[in-house]
C-alpha cells in the first residue's frame, strides 16, 4: 500500500477518535498570483501594481527571482503594501490610488497599468476595484484567482488576458496598431511565434535558445517570444506568424489556439526533435530545408552524442537507473530521453501537475519510492534533494525543477532539442564517473587499513553474522551495477575495520548500517 494511502487511513482513524492529524507536505508549486506576476512582469513597458499587503512585493520580486532567475528586481513592478490599518480603518482604496498616482514617476512612457490581486488581498476583500478583469482608462484590474488556481493556470490566464486586451494596451501605450501590423507584413521568411517562456520557468533561457536555433536552422525566423522578450507593441503582431511553438505542456496552448495558427510543443530527445523539425518544415513550406538541417545536425550538434555512445559510456546507461519529479513538460520529456533513448531504468516518474494516475505527484510517495528503490540519479527540485539527504541515499541529484534556489540563466544547459540530448548525456556521464571515482580502491589507504587491522587483532578472524550478510546484500542493491564489485570490497573492509575498532570479532547489521551511512555522505 502506498504511504499516502496509509497516511489517509491514519487520518480517518484519528478523526473517528475525535483527533485531528495534520501531515506536513512540502510546497511543490505556487498559486496563480505568482504565475500571473511572472508573466506580466516580462513586459518592461507594462506597469504592474501589486494590490496586496506588505511583503507581497518583497517575496516574489526581490527574493524568489534572485534565487532562481538571478534578477535583482523588476523595475516595472510596484506594490501598494497596505497594512492592517488600511484593512480595518482607512480602506485599501486610498493607498491603491496613491500607488497609481505615483507610478508615472518611475517611467513616463510606462502608461498602461495592470493592478494584480494577491491571495491575501482576495481573502480580505480589498476595496480598490470590483472583482473581474475590468479596464478603465489606462488602468486595468486582473484578479489572479490565487485561491483557486495554481501558478501554471495563472500564467495561462495572464497570457490570454494580454492577447484579449491588446487593443487597449496598445492604445494606452500610444502605439499605432495598424502601422505595426502593416510593417510585420513585409517579411521574406516564414515566421514562428514562441509561447511560454516567463520568469520562474526552470531552464527557460537555455531551452528557448535551443528552440530558436532549430527554427532558424530550417530557414524560418523567430517572431514574438511571448512574453519573455516581448513589449506591448509586439502584441499587435503576435498572430502575424505562420506557426507557433508552445514551450510547455502546462500552459500556453490556449493562447496558441486563440491565435488560430498551427502549433507544436517543444521537443525532447533525438526522435521527438527530428519529428518536430520535419513537421515544422511541413507547416512552413520548408520540408527540403528541414531535412537538410536534420542531416547537418547529425554531423555537428549530435556528433558529441554519437562519440559518447560509441565509447564505454554506453555500458553505463543500460545498467543505471533514474528518477524524475518535476513539471509535466520536464517529467515526460526527461523520461522519454533517458528511458527510451538512453536505455536507463526508471524507478520514479512523478509530474507535479498530475493529481491521479501512474505519474501523480505526492511528496510522501516520492520519499517512499526513493527509500524502496533509490535511483542512481534523480532529476528534481531542491525538495527531492533534501529527501535524498534525509534518507542518506547514494543517489545523485541534477536540478530539473523549481521550487528552490537553483540558478539557470546560461543558454548552454538545454534539456530540449538536439543540444538537450548532448547536455543530458554529458551530465549523466560525468556523474557516472563521479560514482566510479568514489568506489575506486585507494592503494595507500587500503594498505594502511590492512596494517591497522593486523596490529589490532593479530591472529583473529572476523565472523560475519548471517543478518549482516543479508543487510549487506540489501545495501549493495542500491549501488550502481557497474561499481558493485568495488563497493562490495570496500564495504567489507570498512565493516571489518569497524568491528575491530569496537573490539568485537563479529560484523553485525548495525555495523553495516553505520558504514553505509558513511558511504552515502
157 and 74: one domain? yes
In-domain check, residue 6: no
In-domain check, residue 145: yes
48 and 126: one domain? yes
411 and 469: one domain? no
pTM listed for this prediction: 0.82
82 and 185: one domain? no
Residue 326: pLDDT band with limits 50, 70, 90: very high
In-domain check, residue 115: yes
Average pLDDT over residues 476-502: 76
* Structural contact between residues 413 and 203, judged by C-beta atoms closer than 8 angstroms: yes
Q: Tell me the helices (H) and strands (E) count for the chain, helix number first.
A: 23, 15
In this predicted model, which residue has the larger pLDDT, 20 or 41? 41
Residue 520 has pLDDT above 70, yes or no: no
Which of 100-114, 206-220, 238-252, 300-314 shows the lowest mean pLDDT across its residues?
Answer: 100-114
Which pLDDT score is estimated for 470?
Answer: 84
Alpha-carbon distance of 118 to 305, in angstroms, equals 46
354 and 410: one domain? yes
Q: How many domains does the chain have?
A: 4
283 and 313: one domain? no
316 and 409: one domain? yes
> Which residues share a beta bridge with 378?
323, 397
Residues in the chain, how many? 521
Strand 139-142, strand 135-136: pairing = antiparallel
Q: Domain of 467? A: 443-520
* Structural contact between residues 394 and 478, judged by C-beta atoms closer than 8 angstroms: yes
Which among 172, 200, 225 is the end of a domain?
172
In-domain check, residue 301: no
- Cα-flanking dihedrals φ and ψ of residue 136, to 5°? -145, 115
Residue with cell string 510547455: 248
281 and 157: one domain? no
Residue 489 has pLDDT above 80, yes or no: no
In-domain check, residue 297: no
Which among 225, 257, 292 is the end of a domain?
292
276 and 350: one domain? no
The domain that holds 139 is classified in CATH as: 3.40.50.1980
Average pLDDT over residues 419-438: 87
189 and 208: one domain? yes
Which of 16-25, 37-46, 122-131, 350-359 shows the lowest mean pLDDT across its residues?
Answer: 122-131
231 and 313: one domain? no
Task: State how far the alpha carbon of 6 is from the alpha carbons of 10, 191, 350, in Å.
Answer: 6, 53, 19
Distance from chain centroid for Cα 200: 9
Average pLDDT over residues 100-126: 69
User: Please, what's the b/e burial string for 147-167 (b: 16 or more CB within 10 A of its CB; e: otherwise)?
Assistant: eebbbbbbbbbbbbbbbebbe
Which among 292, 321, 339 is the end of a domain?
292
Amino acid at each position: 500500500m502506498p504511504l499516502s494511502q496509509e497516511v489517509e487511513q491514519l487520518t480517518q482513524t484519528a478523526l473517528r477518535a475525535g483527533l485531528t492529524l495534520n501531515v506536513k507536505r512540502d510546497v511543490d508549486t505556487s498559486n496563480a498570483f505568482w504565475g500571473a506576476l511572472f508573466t506580466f512582469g516580462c513586459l518592461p513597458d507594462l506597469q504592474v501594481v501589486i494590490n496586496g499587503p506588505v511583503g507581497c512585493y518583497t517575496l516574489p520580486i526581490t527574493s524568489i527571482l534572485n534565487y532562481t532567475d538571478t534578477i535583482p528586481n523588476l523595475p516595472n513592478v510596484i506594490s501598494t503594501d497596505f497594512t492592517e490599518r488600511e484593512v480595518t480603518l482607512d480602506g485599501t482604496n486610498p493607498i491603491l490610488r496613491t500607488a497609481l498616482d505615483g507610478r508615472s514617476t518611475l517611467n513616463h512612457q510606462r502608461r498602461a497599468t495592470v493592478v494584480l490581486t494577491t491571495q491575501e488581498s482576495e481573502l480580505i476583500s480589498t476595496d480598490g476595484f470590483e472583482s473581474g478583469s475590468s479596464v478603465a482608462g489606462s488602468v486595468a484590474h486582473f484578479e489572479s484567482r490565487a485561491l483557486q488556481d495554481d501558478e501554471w493556470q495563472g500564467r495561462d490566464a495572464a497570457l490570454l488576458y494580454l492577447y484579449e486586451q491588446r487593443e487597449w494596451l496598445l492604445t494606452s501605450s500610444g502605439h499605432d496598431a495598424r502601422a505595426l501590423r502593416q510593417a510585420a507584413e513585409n517579411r521574406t521568411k516564414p515566421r514562428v511565434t514562441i509561447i511560454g517562456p516567463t520568469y520562474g520557468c526552470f531552464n527557460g533561457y537555455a531551452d528557448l535558445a535551443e528552440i530558436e536555433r532549430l527554427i532558424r536552422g530550417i530557414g524560418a525566423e523567430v517572431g514574438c517570444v511571448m512574453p519573455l522578450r516581448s513589449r506591448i507593441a509586439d502584441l499587435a503582431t503576435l498572430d502575424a506568424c505562420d506557426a507557433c511553438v508552445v514551450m510547455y505542456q502546462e500552459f500556453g496552448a490556449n493562447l496558441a489556439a486563440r491565435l488560430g495558427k498551427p502549433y507544436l510543443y517543444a521537443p525532447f530527445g533525438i526522435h521527438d526533435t527530428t519529428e518536430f523539425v520535419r513537421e515544422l518544415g511541413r507547416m512552413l513550406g520548408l520540408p527540403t530545408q528541414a531535412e537538410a538541417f536534420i542531416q547537418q545536425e547529425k554531423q555537428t550538434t549530435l556528433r558529441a552524442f554519437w562519440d559518447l555512445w560509441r565509447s564505454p559510456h554506453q555500458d553505463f546507461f543500460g545498467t543505471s537507473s533514474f528518477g524524475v519529479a518535476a513539471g509535466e513538460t520536464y517529467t515526460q520529456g526527461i523520461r522519454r530521453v533517458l528511458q527510451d533513448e538512453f536505455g536507463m531504468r526508471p524507478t520514479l516518474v512523478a509530474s507535479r501537475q498530475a493529481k491521479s494516475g501512474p505519474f501523480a505527484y505526492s511528496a510522501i510517495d516520492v520519499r517512499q519510492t526513493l527509500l524502496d528503490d533509490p535511483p542512481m540519479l534523480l532529476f528534481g527540485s531542491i525538495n527531492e534533494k533534501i529527501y535524498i539527504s534525509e534518507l542518506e541515499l547514494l543517489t545523485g541529484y541534477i536540478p530539473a525543477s523549481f521550487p528552490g534556489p537553483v540558478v539557470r540563466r546560461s543558454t548552454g544547459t538545454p534539456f530540449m532539442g538536439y543540444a538537450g540530448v548532448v547536455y543530458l548525456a554529458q551530465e549523466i556521464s560525468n556523474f557516472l564517473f563521479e560514482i566510479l571515482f568514489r568506489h575506486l580502491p585507494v592503494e595507500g589507504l587500503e594498505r594502511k587499513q590492512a596494517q591497522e587491522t593486523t596490529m589490532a587483532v593479530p591472529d583473529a578472524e572476523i565472523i560475519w553474522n548471517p543478518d549482516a550478510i543479508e543487510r549487506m546484500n540489501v545495501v549493495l542493491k542500491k549501488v550502481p551495477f557497474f561499481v558493485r564489485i568495488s563497493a562490495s570490497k570496500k564495504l567489507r573492509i570498512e565493516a571489518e575495520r569497524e568491528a575491530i575498532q569496537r573490539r568485537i570479532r563479529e560484523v553485525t547489521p548495525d555495523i553495516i548500517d553505520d558504514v553505509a551511512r558513511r558511504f552515502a555522505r
